[in-house]
Structure 1
Amino acid sequence: MTTTTTGRFDGQVVIVTGGGSGIGAATAERFAAEGASVVISGRRRERLEEVAARLPADRVLVHVADVSRREDCEALVAAAVRRFGRLDTLVNAAGMNLVGSVPQTSEEDWRACFGADVDSVFFTTRAALPHLAETKGSVVNVGSVSSLGGGWSHAAYNAAKGAVANLTRSVACDAGRDGVRANVVCPGLTVTDMVEEIMADDALLDRAWDRIPLRRAGQPEEVASAIAFLASDEAAWITGVALPVDGGQTCTDGGPEWGK
């Protein structure tokens, strides 16, 4: 059961990309439950509205955007500051998975994956940093266990999530002088739309449990808890960290095998 610290983010403003489902939606709900005003972004208004309906009406803003596009990212940050007057945390949870080895990955799919997973982080962070410097805020990016090592049959995704981790470290180095922190959470197998096929395949799950000491998938709310911690004052001396949230997967002697 998830425990919240009521009021931990009172008066703060948080942007969550990919806020219409999965980890992004759980994160938006977590910050709102702890007092923040939340701007949720995604490409499908109907999904964003479903999430917004569960949040306090006076502390939520729905903003439709394709965060692989620079102009959409700039408009998102501007809308958040215009509506709520400040920005304290940027959570980059938008992204896409892509199955395929290098020979199996088309140039179009490669660029789409990097657009969704890397360009989105770069553009939103660049737009947000001047505002985060004013509040001594933070960036929390959603990477993956693939940010920490390779794996089978996910060449573009592994490369993109590795880039997210190193981009996060770069932001931590450069923005630290302004009091801005940047960290990345690295979820393992988590119950979201992106892993529906894995969760429906008992044979794949049996192989997954051999690599995950806790022998279960994570829940979006559990990743949201780690994100909230990294954004909070409790993590004021933490920056540049890639935090595995993976049931112990990355402490075993190998990476995910279920795509092999």
Structure 2
Amino acid sequence: MFNYDGKKVLVAGGASGIGAAVVKSFRDAGAEVAVFDIAFKEAREEEGLLEVPVDLADSKQLSAAYGMLKERWGSLDVLINNAGIECVAALEDTTEEAWDRVMGVNLKSVFLSCKEALPLLKESGGNIVNTASQLAFVGASSFTAYTASKAAVVNFTRSLALETAKDGVRVNCVCPGAIDTPLLRRQFEGRRGPQGTIDDLIGMHPVGRLGKPEEIANCILFLASPAASFVTGSAMLADGGYTIQ
């Protein structure tokens, strides 16, 4: 569907779930892909793929990883910021530590990674795609930290898009609904969460099902491609109709 032959793509947060689908999709499209993720135990390299263990909310670790990437590649065409965690708790039960960690992974990491990548992207005329959430646009009980962080990602995306338009760098974000990943399934095993059972969650989506990681990857491939050359500052909802009710 998309051709990324010869392109260099960095996926920040790509070890599992949506991120892993994004990595696979870009590789299938011909891109050379680097993946930064705290889940990796050690750096690993194979043809067309570089994996680097990084705490994306740690500026020193991230700067060192970017330094290595610049030495290896010398250029960058696409940055995908996909790291994300949740804190499922009522506000009164949300600790300051949990709040800070959600903001660190979901928001601070986006700021840090964009700051590191921009000089390279300005040279290549590249672009950025951030992963936000449908919960950037609607409230959700017991998700105050998560919803706040993702709403911030949307407006960060819009502001940075204005800042970099003159440099030929597009910045967009994709806002997924509930996506069927092992992590999501585990969250609902044998219990009712704040959103009920997993069947209740499915029922919140008018299309009557959860999304697939590959469907979000397709949105990201589009936004990062020349097919979206007139699109910047956009927050693409891919939520099965969740937010139109």
Band of TM-score, shorter chain: over 0.9
- Do the aligned residues in 1 keep the contact of 2:4 with 2:29 (CA within 8 Å)? yes
Structure 1 residue 48: deviation in Å? 8.0
The structure 2 residue matched to 1:11, chosen from 3, 6, 13, is 6
The equivalent residue for 1:28 is 23
Structure 1 residue 210: deviation in Å? 3.0
The equivalent residue for 1:236 is 229
Per-residue CA deviations over 1:96-116 (Å, capped at 9, x if unaligned) read 111012211110100011011
Give TM-score scaled by structure 2 length.
0.92
Give the paired residue count: 241
- The 5-angstrom pairing of residues 93-172 of structure 1 reads 93-172=82-161
Q: Does 1:222 align with 2:211?
A: no
SS state of the match for residue 45, structure 1? coil
Structure 1 residue 192: deviation in Å? 2.2
- Do the aligned residues in 2 keep the contact of 1:191 with 1:199 (CA within 8 Å)? no
Give TM-score scaled by structure 1 length.
0.87
- Shift in CA distance, 100/170, structure 1 to aligned 2, threshold 3 Å: same
SS state of the match for residue 218, structure 2? helix
Gapped regions of structure 2 (runs ≥ 5):
none
> Using the alignment, how far apart are the partners of 2:229 and 2:83 within structure 1?
25
> Using the alignment, how far apart are the partners of 2:201 and 2:39 within structure 1?
31
Per-residue CA deviations over 1:185-227 (Å, capped at 9, x if unaligned) read 1111102244224554686233223321111111111111101
- Do the aligned residues in 1 keep the contact of 2:11 with 2:34 (CA within 8 Å)? yes
- Do the aligned residues in 1 keep the contact of 2:43 with 2:50 (CA within 8 Å)? no
Question: How much identity, in percent, do the aligned residues show?
Answer: 37
SS state of the match for residue 141, structure 2? coil
Per-residue CA deviations over 1:55-75 (Å, capped at 9, x if unaligned) read xx3211111100001122222
The structure 2 residue matched to 1:208, chosen from 196, 201, 204, is 201
> Using the alignment, how far apart are the partners of 1:121 and 1:194 within structure 2?
22
Structure 1 residue 158: deviation in Å? 0.6
> Using the alignment, how far apart are the partners of 2:108 and 2:237 within structure 1?
22
- Do the aligned residues in 1 keep the contact of 2:180 with 2:212 (CA within 8 Å)? yes
- Shift in CA distance, 98/176, structure 1 to aligned 2, threshold 3 Å: same
SS state of the match for residue 91, structure 1? strand
Matched to 2:32, the amino acid is S
- The 5-angstrom pairing of residues 167-182 of structure 1 reads 167-182=156-171
> Using the alignment, how far apart are the partners of 2:176 and 2:54 within structure 1?
24
